[in-house]
Amino acid sequence: MLHIVNKSPLQRTTLESCLRVAVPGGAILLIEDAVYAATRGNAAEAQLRDALSRFKVYALAPDLEARGMHERVMEGVATVDYGGFVDLVAEHKNCQSWL
């Protein structure tokens, strides 16, 4: 399953909820304000770093660039463009947007 998260990890508990229930082996795509979760040095870094062993984690490149954070993506997180976003949705049998 593909989990799509769009809220900042330091403002909302959306990512935390997602990581708590998602079945290992799935994929997590961080978009909009959730891309901050994938950046080095943020207070929620350990949370996502820990999740990298259980999930494939992606971050949307245009959202990272818009926020000036594209050079701080943590190792192990893959960046995708809008085409990659579509591919991820198509590759998985289902997806959930954690609003």
Partner 1 sequence: MSEGTIKKFMFVNRTAPYGTVYALESLEVVLITAAFDQDVSLVFMDDGVFQLKKGQQTKGIENKNFSPTYRALDGYDVEKLYVEGEALAARGLTEEDRYDVEKLYVEGEALAARGLTEEDLLVDVTVMSRAELGKLMDEMDVVLTF
**Whole-angstrom distance, CA of residue 45 vs CA of residue 81:** 22
- Contact stretch for partner 1 (CB under 8 A) within 15-23, 46-54, 61-69, 86-94: 61-69
Binding string, 17-36, against partner 1, x = CB under 8 A?
Answer: ---------------xx--x
Residue 92 tokens read as 């998985």
Among residues 91, 93, 35, the alpha carbon closest in space to that of 68 is found at 35
Q: Residues in contact with partner 1, total (CB under 8 A)?
A: 26
Interface residue with partner 1, options 2, 3, 5, 7 (CB under 8 A): 7
Interface residue with partner 1, options 49, 54, 67, 92 (CB under 8 A): 67
12: left (phi over 0), alpha (psi -120 to 50) or beta: beta
